[in-house]
Amino acid sequence: DGKRRFQTSVEMEYADEDGDVGGTKLLQGAGLTEAGAVANVHESPLLAQGAEGRVFVSRLESIFGDVEVVCKQRFRKKYRHPDLDIKLIARRNTSEVRVMLRARKLGVRTPVLYHVDRAACCIYMEYLRPPRWSTLKSFLAQLESDIMGKKPGRDNDLKAIAKSIGCVAAKLHIGDIIHGDLTTSNILVDAERDTECLSDDRWNLALIDFGLSGQSTQNEDKAVDLYVLERAIESTHSYIAADLNKSIMEYYEQEGCPAAQKSLKSVLRRLDDVRMRGRKRDMVG
């Protein structure tokens, strides 16, 4: 019938100190049960594909009916021994899931994790679907166009999105999480701003694609994270890049308690060194 049962016993491998993986509890919260967790892995719309895997839309059957989800599947490598291959993929999935769960505990929005299927090398998670959710890249493209056209109020939106980005990046780094690919394509913007939860000077953001993420206390790693973000903005939104990047860094260093702010300032000082190395590479070619 084109459907596979999940191996829900692997959920406990991702448990944090509280024993919750965002697995069993989140499955129940979505109306999903172990007996009813089923995915249709055939004829699903492909969202993205790279050398390491693919991301596609799938469905889970629950007591409330079908739930549309995103499945991230890592490819098997035929040149590796099958036993080693499955262990390496499982380790990478484990690392990605744990970082996502830790980010949520730090107050950073990520897709809700529903399940991990070891046999199929899949992670099933919440589908933050358009048009409500759009990439920061497309959001900034429209914002840049509006600012160039002198549309009223959009300068305030630029400050608001800068504050939101800076705060999210700071929360990750305060918790010693490195995203690893912090580009405008891996940040989603919620078009439906919840004014009860957010002030008028914030946008609700979500981070996706933690495939290159990890944990590090090193300022160098955090500075590289910020440098990747800066370059992504500069490469596609040149008209607003200077003001936006400056504001992001200003809000970045204001997040958290005084001790955290001191640490973030050290990251920004290291960012200056990273920028200098980047400029030298650009000149050399």
**In the predicted structure, residue 51 carries a pLDDT above the cut 80:** yes
46 alpha carbon, distance to own chain's centre: 18
Among 20, 176, 181, 273, which one carries the catalytic annotation? Answer: 181
258 alpha carbon, distance to own chain's centre: 26
What confidence category does residue 65 fall into, taking pLDDT thresholds of 50, 70 and 90? low
Co-location of 178 and 208 in the same domain:
yes
As for how many domains the chain has, the answer is 2
Active site residue 181: yes
Domain at 221, CATH number: 1.10.510.10
Co-location of 144 and 279 in the same domain:
yes
**Structural domain boundaries, residue 23:** 3-126
**In the predicted structure, residue 32 carries a pLDDT above the cut 50:** no
Co-location of 42 and 158 in the same domain:
no
- Check if the beta carbon of residue 255 is closer than 8 Å to that of residue 167: yes
Residue 4's pLDDT is what? 41
* Structure confidence by residue, pLDDT tens digits, 72-102: 999 999 899 999 999 999 999 999 999 999 9
Answer with the one of 64, 96, 126 that is the final residue of a domain.
126
133 alpha carbon, distance to own chain's centre: 13
156-167 mean pLDDT:
95
Co-location of 110 and 147 in the same domain:
no
Co-location of 56 and 140 in the same domain:
no
Co-location of 158 and 276 in the same domain:
yes
List, in order, residues 6 or more apart from 169 with CB less than 8 Å away: 182, 225, 226, 229, 248, 252
- Check if the beta carbon of residue 153 is closer than 8 Å to that of residue 200: no
Co-location of 75 and 188 in the same domain:
no
* Structure confidence by residue, pLDDT tens digits, 203-250: 899 999 999 999 999 999 999 999 999 999 999 999 999 999 999 999
**In the predicted structure, residue 285 carries a pLDDT above the cut 90:** no
Do you find a cis peptide bond into 131, omega within 30 degrees of 0?
A: yes
178-199 mean pLDDT:
81
Answer with the one of 98, 126, 154 that is the final residue of a domain.
126
Domain at 49, CATH number: 3.30.200.20
- Check if the beta carbon of residue 139 is closer than 8 Å to that of residue 186: no
Co-location of 170 and 109 in the same domain:
no
What confidence category does residue 34 fall into, taking pLDDT thresholds of 50, 70 and 90? very low
